[in-house]
Amino acid sequence: MTVVTANTGTTRAESFTVRASAETNRAALCLYARRLVSWYEIAMSNNLSRQALDLDAPWISQDTLSVEPHQIVAPDGSYDPDDVPDLTEEAFLDLYRWMLFEKRYAERMVKLQRRGELGTFGSSRGHEASIVGSGYPLQDSDWLLGMGRETMAMLQQGVSLRDMILFWRGVDDAQQFLAQENCMIGISVGGYLPLVTGIGWGMKRMDADAVVTAHFGDGATSTGASHEAINFAGVLDIPAIFYCQNNQWAISTPFEKQTNANSIAQRAIGYGVDGVRVDGNDVLAVHAAMTEARELASQGNPVIVEGLTYRRGGHSTNDDPSRYRDDEERETWIDRDPIERYERFLQSEGLWDRVDRETLLEGIDEEFDAAHEAADAYGPRDVEEIFVHLYDEMPPALEAQMASFGEFLETYPEMDEHVDRRPKG
């Protein structure tokens, strides 16, 4: 052991060994992060034994804990039949349709955006299993606050596709319709997690048969708000599920620059909640974990569920990922496509016969077309919209601002030239 006698200035460092194993582990993590080898392999080899260190105190480090990701169906489609959740055939097929829907939705939305019909759009390509598996086990009474990359989970709660289009068009009313289904999209990353804790606290206080889910990304876990929210939930036994879609990127920031920890799931240890990492490209594993998560949460055990997946496209339509990451990495993840894997599963289960992919896609496209039309048909809104709904009762000064702006618009029609977007869906 090293002894430093500070006040005399003498340092006897002779016996201190550089922490070789920590370095080794770090290197493995970076490898992992750089995805030059499969994350499955690395994740499974996390349990690197620490080299004998000349440290006397019982330090805990990344080596102390091994987080095994939960996987039911392997990338090649193989699985142990005993592990398969006991779902009805309809449910198995339903999961497939939802995943296809998420994929198709993202493709169509990107196209709409390119045509100038949306402000911006954040594609979920690659997250299909993570989104669908995490949303499916939720109940009607549950609440879901997300960040925009969990559309089908919201649709499962009752949100309409039209409203998602309106949302990305910057039509204020969209969040009204989401709220009607107990959903919200929080744009400030991580900042809505305390609300989730509060909602769950309300459920607990009211003894409601419901849980609240936060959907958020790996980036969000670095915010102070997320920390306070989860720790708080742990102390107060709040029925909340913190579902992290760890897609390994926050815009251009890779997971290994987001935290030096090996997983987000292990944060659970620090909060006294339960946590699990699942293969976010394995819809059955996500579904199984979220089902358990919901049970745990309803019993007052808040949980962190980390779905490990990959953002195949840019962060949003404004983003150009070629600036900061390799195509090679992306290729690797194409091979791990969640939908294709699940197709292989359905084949093995003999359910594939019951799937007519083309018809499904047609149906989805029709739904999308209808939603698109409905969004286009969404009535023009009055300019007053920007003043109302801030307060239950509008304060006099704001009334005055609204009135005089109304007069102004009548008196100065030239204002029209400066209004780029018409206030309709």
Partner 1 sequence: MNATIIEAINDSLTTEMERDDRVMVFGEDVAENGGVFRATEGLKERFGADRVVDTPLSEIAIVGGAVGLALYGLRPVAEIQFSGFLPPAFDQLVTHASRIRWRTRGEWSAPLVVRTPYGAGVRALEHHSESLEGAYGHVPGLKVVVPSTPHDTKGLLNAAMHDPDPVVFLEPKHIYRSVREEIPDDDYEVPIGEAAVRRVGEDVTVISWGAMMEPTLEAVAELGVDADVIDLRTISPLDRTSIVDSVKKTGRAVVVHEAARSGGWGGEIIATINDEALMYLEAPIERITGFDVPVPLLSMEDYYLPHPPRIAAGIERVLEY
Ligand X SMILES: Cc1ncc(C[n+]2csc(CCOP(=O)(O)OP(=O)(O)O)c2C)c(N)n1
> Is there binding between residue 250 and Mg ion (CB under 5 A)?
yes
> Is there binding between residue 359 and a second copy (CB under 8 A)?
no
**What does the alpha-carbon distance between residue 401 and residue 189 come to, in Å, rounded to a whole number?**
32
Nearest distance from C-beta of residue 71 to ligand X, angstroms: 21
Residue tagged active-site, from 127, 149, 311, 341: 311
DSSP for 192-241 reads THHHHHHHHHHHHHTT-S--EEEEEETGGGGSHHHHHHHHHHHHTT--EE
The two structure tokens encoding residue 219 = 């980036």
Q: Which is nearer to partner 1, 90 or 393 (CB)?
A: 393
Listed residue (119, 170, 179) closest to 146, CA to CA: 179
Residues 183-222 that bind a second copy (CB under 8 A): 222
- Among 205, 257, 357, 389, indicate the residue that binds a second copy (CB under 8 A): 257
> Is there binding between residue 94 and a second copy (CB under 8 A)?
yes
> Is there binding between residue 275 and Mg ion (CB under 5 A)?
no
**Catalytic annotation present for 311:** yes
**What does the alpha-carbon distance between residue 310 and residue 322 come to, in Å, rounded to a whole number?**
15
**Catalytic annotation present for 127:** no
Say if residues 144 and 138 touch (Cβ distance below 8 Å): yes
Nearest distance from C-beta of residue 194 to ligand X, angstroms: 13
- Among 117, 172, 173, 292, indicate the residue that binds a second copy (CB under 8 A): 292
Q: Which is nearer to ligand X, 106 or 296 (CB)?
A: 106
**What does the alpha-carbon distance between residue 286 and residue 277 come to, in Å, rounded to a whole number?**
9
Residue tagged active-site, from 12, 114, 205, 324: 324
Nearest distance from C-beta of residue 219 to ligand X, angstroms: 3
Sign of CA dihedral 329, 73, 152, 294: negative
308, β-bridge pairs? 246, 279
314 binds, among ligand X, partner 1, a second copy, none (CB under 5 to 8 A by kind): none
Q: Which is nearer to a second copy, 171 or 203 (CB)?
A: 203
216, β-bridge pairs? 244
Instruction: Enumerate residues 6+ apart whose C-beta is below 8 A from 250.
Output: 189, 217, 218, 219, 258, 315
What character string, x for contact with a second copy (CB under 8 A) and - otherwise, covers 139-178?
xx---------------x----------------------
Residue tagged active-site, from 162, 315, 336, 341: 315
Helices 283-298 & 128-135, crossing angle to 10 degrees? 30
- Among 113, 247, 301, 309, indicate the residue that binds Mg ion (CB under 5 A): 247
Q: Which is nearer to Mg ion, 198 or 254 (CB)?
A: 254
Q: Which residue is nearest to Mg ion (CB)?
A: 217
Listed residue (423, 400, 352, 365) closest to 104, CA to CA: 365
> Is there binding between residue 239 and a second copy (CB under 8 A)?
no
Q: Which is nearer to partner 1, 17 or 120 (CB)?
A: 120
Say if residues 243 and 213 touch (Cβ distance below 8 Å): yes
Q: Which is nearer to partner 1, 52 or 206 (CB)?
A: 206
Residues 222-281 that bind ligand X (CB under 6 A): 245, 247, 249-251
Residues 205-224 that bind ligand X (CB under 6 A): 216-220
Q: Beta strand pairing status for 212-217 and 143-146?
A: parallel
**What does the alpha-carbon distance between residue 150 and residue 215 come to, in Å, rounded to a whole number?**
7
Alpha helices by DSSP H, 264-384: 267-271, 283-298, 327-334, 338-348, 357-377
Sign of CA dihedral 167, 183, 287, 64: positive
189 binds, among Mg ion, a second copy, ligand X, none (CB under 5 to 8 A by kind): ligand X
Nearest distance from C-beta of residue 34 to ligand X, angstroms: 17
> Is there binding between residue 137 and a second copy (CB under 8 A)?
yes
> Is there binding between residue 155 and ligand X (CB under 6 A)?
no
196 binds, among partner 1, ligand X, Mg ion, none (CB under 5 to 8 A by kind): partner 1
For 261, phi and psi rounded to 5 degrees?
Answer: -80, 155
Residues 293-352 that bind ligand X (CB under 6 A): 311, 315
Residue 11: Cβ within 10 Å count = 12
Catalytic amino acids?
A: 311, 315, 324
Contact set with ligand X (CB under 6 A): 149, 187-189, 191, 216-220, 245, 247, 249-251, 311, 315
